């Protein structure tokens, strides 16, 4: 509460997230906070977060939202998969674009350096194995902010792997491009 209040006092908005995963605002595990009344309501009752929740300062203006994906094998090898541009709706994942179009080579290098020098060694020290990704917000100056760690294989990896396999058979992989979006179903009438 204190951190959230200090952000509001500084004129900044933020997200309040459930500690155990969110799925975005649409799934009910996150709220975009713009004033103290909203913060009190969320902290007390509205989303039933309980005693623990995460306050995440909103990075505005933002240049891009990307995700970095990798696999850690049972032998401890880290296999970099790629950096994907995120398609978001209402602060929730809606799809991805590969290769990422809106970040510079310098920003890409910073993200890779953070992964190689900090994130991956920490996971290897914990004997982590499997597919992982992190969402990264890039501010208007090209600085990356790591915001969300996901220890799982997401839908985008299935799409990417299909694209990779097709490219090996039919074309040069480096010349390809794809955009993946979740299926959007309209709200049901009456609830």
Position 65 scores a pLDDT of 93
Rounded CA separation 101/59 (Å):
19
Q: Could you report the per-residue pLDDT of 89-129, keeping only the tens digit for each?
A: 777 777 788 888 899 999 999 999 999 999 999 999 999 88
8 Å CB contact between 56 and 14: yes
Q: Which of 132-146, 152-166, 172-186 has the lowest mean pLDDT?
A: 172-186
pTM: 0.73
Written as six digits, the tokens of 92 are 């929730």
Rounded CA separation 186/191 (Å):
11
Ranges for all domains in the chain classified under CATH 3.30.470.20: 62-181
Reported confidence tier of residue 56, pLDDT bands at 50, 70, 90: confident
Position 123 scores a pLDDT of 92
What proportions of the chain, in percent to the nearest 5, are helix, strand and coil? 30, 35, 35
Rounded CA separation 49/30 (Å):
9
Rounded CA separation 110/138 (Å):
11
Domain 62-181 fold: D-amino Acid Aminotransferase; Chain A, domain 1 (3.30.470)
């Amino acid at each position: 509460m204190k951190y959230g209040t200090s952000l509001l006092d500084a004129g900044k908005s933020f997200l309040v997230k459930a500690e155990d995963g969110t799925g975005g605002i649409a799934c009910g595990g996150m709220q975009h906070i713009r004033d103290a009344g909203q913060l009190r309501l969320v902290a007390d009752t509205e989303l039933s977060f309980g005693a623990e929740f995460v306050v995440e300062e909103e990075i505005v203006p933002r240049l891009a939202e990307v995700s970095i994906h990798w696999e850690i094998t049972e032998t401890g090898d880290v296999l970099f998969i790629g950096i994907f541009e995120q398609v978001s709706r209402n602060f929730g994942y809606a799809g991805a674009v590969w290769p990422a179009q809106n970040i510079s080579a310098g920003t890409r290098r910073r993200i890779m350096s953070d992964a190689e020098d900090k994130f991956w060694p920490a996971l290897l020290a914990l004997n982590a194995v499997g597919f992982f990704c992190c969402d990264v917000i890039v501010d208007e100056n090209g600085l990356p902010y790591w915001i969300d760690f996901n220890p799982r294989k997401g839908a985008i990896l299935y799409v990417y792997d299909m694209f990779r396999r097709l490219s090996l058979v039919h074309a040069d992989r480096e010349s390809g491009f794809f955009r993946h979006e979740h299926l959007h179903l309209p709200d049901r009438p009456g609830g």
